[in-house]
Structure 1
Amino acid sequence: MGAVDRLDGFQRRHRWLGMPLAVVYKFADDQGMHLAALMAFYGFLSLFPLLLLLVSTLAAVLQNDPTLQQQVLNSALRNFPVLGDQLKHNIHSFRGSGVALAVGVLGSLYGGLGVTQAVQHALNKMWAVPRHARPDPVRSRVRGLLFIALLAVGLLSTTGVSVVASSARAFGLRFEGGVRVGAVLGVVLLNAALLVLTVRVLTRARIDVRYLWGPAVGGACAWQALQWGGAYYVRHYLNGAGATYGLFAIVLGLLAWLYLAALGFVLTVEAAAVRAHRLWPRSLLTPFTDDVLLTEADRRAYRSYATTASFKGFQEVHVEFHGQPFPGPDKGGGDKAVDKPSRES
């Protein structure tokens, strides 16, 4: 235990180690793997029709300029490398009569609302929003529509910058290497802003933006790396694949890509929540045994989990840690609230 105690003390004293550890512990406490899997599942069901609708709209708007249309479509679909080639061959699916188009639009929106519900559930859980304070089914779907609109605007914005970043010649202008690198950085910053807006729109909690920007930039960099990884997967494993193998490769590759994207999103938000709620440093052995002295960050985390589970506004949840001496405030300030016995009233 001496070596473990020394390691525990070291990570508590050093933010660069204690903060990531606290993020991992909160991720485990919130069942982050399951939250990411839920978002990936609904994303898999809704991504194709939503993107097909968006790409069809772009194709219709830019039909008078085939060159620009091709540049914009290629840049938009590059954000979804595993699915992009399939979409380019199925743009015609949403063309036809007005009734068919309306049915396609409504079906796509209904399917897309599934992933918005999954994202809202994950965000509210990670930010410890009590069940009774979360939006009702109608308001949550209205927020979901706002989220879909936000994604559309974000995709259109990053597509415009991606055209510059991905082509030496776009919009009739020639761009040198330095400008293209700057365009890539612009895409990363736009994606970071989109992450911040997503958390603000879909979370029923007041969140200070200063806690979001740092993790959001890291999450946007991870998203960019994931796009490059998806493009590499398509080039090296899907090109030239047979029909049967190619079908399974697309499905499995898309599921894995969506899951990794959802996992990066959850970790990004968890990092912001740990910063905002000062949920560090955590005790090193907390996930493994009850024979441990909790830090004040541990106590704050466990109180928030209990409060999150309250279903009614008139329901009160208090927490008591038996046999635990009350620690002093952590460095930088701490929660001085006295623990009370667990009860409901």
Structure 2
Amino acid sequence: MRENNDNPGTHSRGAPPDTRGTGPVQEAVDQIDQFQQRHKPVAIAVAVARKFAEDQSTRLASMIAFWAFFSLFPLLLVFVTLLGFLLPTGIKATVLEHVASMIPLVDTSAMHGLSGSWWALIVGLVNALWSGLAVVRTVEVAFNAVWEIPYVKRPGLFSQLLRALGVLATVGLGLVVSTLVTGFVSGQSTGIDLGWTGRVAGYAVAIALDVGLFVAAFRILTNRKITTRQVLPGAVLSGVLFWVLQSLSSLIISRYLHNAQSTYGHFATVITILWWFYLQSLITLAGAQLNVVLTERLHPRGLRDSPDTEADQRAYDAYAKERTYHQEERVQADFPRADRSRHRGQ
């Protein structure tokens, strides 16, 4: 926090800052800081970006992307093995082509040779269940970290597993349905042109499904009582961006991925899938951060002299209290130099 010895604590919201002894860059930052604190939409965006960085959400997104990528291929192994049991070879190839057109960034052409096998089915089911539970548990850890829930109040392993099974059976099925709807409406899997009205209606249904899934995920996987109204803004943001990402992934498959495979082979597919899951995780956590900022009113945040605003102090207090490991432990964050800050957010 910057020391300000000239009339400390005298600046109020909207008053020009004391820039004596500072350079033009600092003056420009002060002006930008005043602007974003006066305008609520900008202040919310800045607060979300700051909290996103302070919570190290990119690291959490990387963990989610890893386990999502790890769970993809066991699921495909189970799916292809079941097709080998249930369908003849010709029909199985047709079904795989439809699946490849609807599931983003998945090339099933290398799986045509697989047939029904009990050992492959068992191994695939065990790995898919294990990795799927790991994905859900990692998302739950990320949501609890975003809401700064103290460690002592977070669920144990058994509770996490039960909750993860429920989420896999509901949200996971919903994601499959949403992907199928998007593929059907776009005509990629059926070749049917629904017309612009049919497409608009179909896309609206797909987006509504995505938003509903995020509402359910935000509420179920956060270990505190939150309402649908509290998670709806973030669910809308994440749901719309998720649908956009699904649509863009189809463009990547049809125009770029196959060309890249001719040069880089399956390495291009692996990198692309990892990036796709990583971007999915980022937009999910961005929606969760928006919910926290709005619910806890963690805006406006200062850009320079943190803790510059009352929201800064409450955010830092929550970060400290998150590290509570015992029921009898009490954590309190003090800001002895807060009276020397500008408090423009008051």
TM-score when normalising by structure 1: 0.81
By how many angstroms is 1:262 displaced? Answer: 1.0
Aligned partner (choices 305, 308, 312) of residue 322 of structure 2 = 308
Q: Does 1:195 align with 2:214?
A: yes
By how many angstroms is 1:62 displaced? Answer: 8.8
User: What is the CA–CA distance in structure 2 between the aligned matches of 1:233 and 1:157, rounded to whole Å?
Assistant: 21
Q: After superposition, what is the alpha-carbon deviation per residue over 1:298-338, rounded to whole angstroms, capped at 9, x for unaligned?
A: 1111111111111112211111111213999998xx9xxxx
User: What is the CA–CA distance in structure 2 between the aligned matches of 1:236 and 1:80, rounded to whole Å?
Assistant: 16
**Ranges in structure 1 where 5+ consecutive residues have no aligned partner:** 286-290, 335-345
Does the CA contact (< 8 Å) of 2:102 and 2:189 recur in 1? no
User: What is the CA–CA distance in structure 1 between the aligned matches of 2:112 and 2:147, rounded to whole Å?
Assistant: 39
Q: Which residue does 2:71 correspond to in 1?
A: 46
The secondary structure found in structure 2 opposite 1:178 is: helix
1:201-212 mapped onto 2 (5 Å cutoff): 201-212=220-231
Q: Does 1:26 align with 2:82?
A: no
Does the CA contact (< 8 Å) of 2:150 and 2:321 recur in 1? yes
- Shift in CA distance, 273/242, structure 1 to aligned 2, threshold 3 Å: closer
1:6-155 mapped onto 2 (5 Å cutoff): 6-53=31-78, 59=83, 74=98, 77-78=100-101, 80-83=103-106, 85-86=107-108, 89-90=110-111, 93=114, 95-97=116-118, 100-155=120-175
Q: Which residue does 1:343 correspond to in 2?
A: none
Q: Which range moves more in the overlay, 29-38 or 147-156?
A: 147-156
The secondary structure found in structure 2 opposite 1:82 is: coil
Q: Which residue does 1:270 correspond to in 2?
A: 289
- Shift in CA distance, 243/11, structure 1 to aligned 2, threshold 3 Å: closer
Alignment root-mean-square deviation, CA: 3.4
- Shift in CA distance, 246/260, structure 1 to aligned 2, threshold 3 Å: same
Q: After superposition, what is the alpha-carbon deviation per residue over 1:236-288, rounded to whole angstroms, capped at 9, x for unaligned?
A: 33325556712111111111111111111111111111111111000121xxx
By how many angstroms is 1:24 displaced? Answer: 0.3
Q: Which residue does 1:186 correspond to in 2?
A: 205
Q: Which residue does 1:230 correspond to in 2?
A: 249
Does the CA contact (< 8 Å) of 2:80 and 2:111 recur in 1? no
Letter paired with 1:106: V
Q: Which range moves more in the overlay, 273-282 or 205-214?
A: 205-214
Q: Does 1:296 align with 2:310?
A: yes
User: What is the CA–CA distance in structure 2 between the aligned matches of 1:67 and 1:306, rounded to whole Å?
Assistant: 58
Does the CA contact (< 8 Å) of 2:77 and 2:124 recur in 1? no
Letter paired with 2:154: R
Letter paired with 1:317: V
By how many angstroms is 1:152 displaced? Answer: 3.0
Aligned partner (choices 279, 290, 294) of residue 260 of structure 1 = 279
Q: After superposition, what is the alpha-carbon deviation per residue over 1:179-238, rounded to whole angstroms, capped at 9, x for unaligned?
A: 121101110110111111111111101112112222212212211222222222222333
**Ranges in structure 2 where 5+ consecutive residues have no aligned partner:** 1-18, 20-26
Does the CA contact (< 8 Å) of 2:102 and 2:188 recur in 1? no
Count of residues in Structure 1 that have an aligned counterpart in Structure 2 = 320
Q: Which residue does 1:341 correspond to in 2?
A: none
Q: Does 1:318 align with 2:343?
A: no
Q: Which residue does 1:279 correspond to in 2?
A: 298
User: What is the CA–CA distance in structure 1 between the aligned matches of 2:320 and 2:276, rounded to whole Å?
Assistant: 33
- Shift in CA distance, 283/224, structure 1 to aligned 2, threshold 3 Å: same
Does the CA contact (< 8 Å) of 2:80 and 2:114 recur in 1? no
- Shift in CA distance, 240/196, structure 1 to aligned 2, threshold 3 Å: same
By how many angstroms is 1:100 displaced? Answer: 4.1
User: What is the CA–CA distance in structure 1 between the aligned matches of 2:126 and 2:76, rounded to whole Å?
Assistant: 14
The secondary structure found in structure 2 opposite 1:212 is: helix
Identity %: 31
User: What is the CA–CA distance in structure 2 between the aligned matches of 1:236 and 1:131, rounded to whole Å?
Assistant: 46
By how many angstroms is 1:167 displaced? Answer: 2.7
Q: Which residue does 1:158 correspond to in 2?
A: 178
User: What is the CA–CA distance in structure 2 between the aligned matches of 1:282 and 1:34, rounded to whole Å?
Assistant: 22
Q: Which range moves more in the overlay, 152-161 or 42-51?
A: 152-161
- Shift in CA distance, 292/115, structure 1 to aligned 2, threshold 3 Å: closer
- Shift in CA distance, 56/313, structure 1 to aligned 2, threshold 3 Å: farther
The secondary structure found in structure 1 opposite 2:339 is: coil
Q: Which range moves more in the overlay, 321-330 or 223-232?
A: 321-330
Aligned partner (choices 163, 172, 177) of residue 196 of structure 2 = 177
User: Larger Rg: 1 or 2?
Assistant: 2
User: What is the CA–CA distance in structure 2 between the aligned matches of 1:185 and 1:70, rounded to whole Å?
Assistant: 28
